[in-house]
Amino acid sequence: MTSQSYPKVNVLAALAAGLAAFGFAPILVRLAPDTSPLVLVVYRTVIAALILLPFWLWKRSREQRSGKTRERLWIALSGACLGIHFTCWITSLYYTSVASASVLVTIHPIIMILVERLWFRRHFARTTWVGVILAFSGSLILGISDSQIDQPFANPLLGNALALSAAVIFVVYLLIGQQVRKKRAWIDYVFPTYFYAAATCLGIAVVLGKDLFAISSVGIWAGAGLAFGPQILGHGSMNYAVKYISPTLLSTLILVEPLLASVLAYFFFTELPPLSSIVAMVIILLGVSLTWRRKDGSVG
């Protein structure tokens, strides 16, 4: 796409706000260590849907056109993927470190660029490939460095596996969003997606026998913060931008999130990153800058 084909200033502003919100996600989760991750994710998704409900009732489209039933099915699948993504990722933070979870959950650029190239036959500039690989390499270095930190974590292997699963599911969610957003306004896609995400998280918690009222006031505030910040501002900005920008570019941009999360983790939890982690963060930023080197943010 060319810079004239989409509201560039609006997209960039939304992405900046979204990235800032993403960085606080693991911090908010760690502020409620006594709350079950499955309960926390229910509060996060339900509160997000409730916040958007009045806006959807006010702004929703009542247009009658063919294909809307099929779109609803895709949106339901997208919401289910988002709910499972949240469940896997938030749970991973209870078993492994902030840096490891943040890095592994952002492995999706490698998966995404391969899917877009091999499945959708999309062509990318050489700098995009180099940037994705470089940014991912930085993430790997960051993960290896983080594993050497002498801090107690419940079950790093399980936590890392959950974070990786969340990354794979996120790819499906983002690809569905790109297709559906071509025909739907932001609120007409985001609210029903968040509704189905909340229903999925609620269903998982109930099936696993979780007490939804076993949550402290801090946990409720953490859930509300996750709903407004990382979900509405963070994922909301991605859902806004995915109509105009390749999912691969968006996925690579999100790799900045573990950098911010690691810095915040130092101030909140004294999780001091070693020198190798700092080097890895620089590599990630260099990779992201190469990926987005083309001024119009388009694919080649």
Which DSSP symbol is given to 3?
G
Q: Which two tokens stand for residue 287?
A: 């990779």
Please report whether residue 251 resides in a domain.
yes
Q: Which residues, at least 6 apart from 262, have a Cβ–Cβ distance to it below 8 Å?
A: 98, 99, 102, 142, 271, 273, 277, 281
Of residues 230, 232, 228, 88, the one with CA closest to residue 172: 88
Q: Which of 261, 250, 233, 228 is nearest to 17 (CA)?
A: 233
pLDDT at res. 78: 95
In this prediction, residue 2 has a pLDDT band, given cuts at 50, 70 and 90, of: very low
* Residue 296 pLDDT class (50, 70, 90 cuts): very low
Query: Whole-angstrom Cα distance, residue 280 to residue 85?
Result: 25
How many structural domains comprise the chain?
1
Q: For residues 60 and 171, what is the distance between their CA atoms, to the nearest angstrom?
A: 26
Q: Is residue 184 part of a domain?
A: yes
Residue 186 lies inside a defined structural domain of this protein: yes
Residue 300 inside a domain? The answer is no
298 within a domain of the structure (yes/no): no
Residue 94: pLDDT band (50, 70, 90) is confident
C-alpha to C-alpha distance for 229 and 224, rounded to whole angstroms: 8
> Does residue 256 or residue 50 have the better pLDDT?
50
Virtual CA dihedral for 268, 89, 106, 112, nearest 10 degrees?
-160
Q: Residue 83: is its pLDDT beyond 50? A: yes
Domain span including residue 35 = 3-291
Residue 197, judged by CB atoms within 10 A of its CB (0-12, 13-18, 19+), counts as buried
d(CA 179, CA 259): 30
Measure the CA–CA gap between 242 and 223, rounded to whole angstroms: 25
Question: Does 54 reside within a domain?
Answer: yes
Angstrom CA distances, 184 to 53, 65, 68, 178, stand at: 17, 11, 10, 10
- Angle, helices 256-269/275-291, rounded to nearest 10 degrees: 150
Most confident of 30-34, 118-122, 222-226, 264-268: 222-226
- In this predicted model, what pLDDT tens digit does every residue of 179-195 receive, in sequence order? 898 888 899 999 999 99
End-to-end CA distance of the chain: 9
Instruction: Decide if 9 is inside a domain.
Output: yes
Decide which of 259 and 219 is more confident: 219
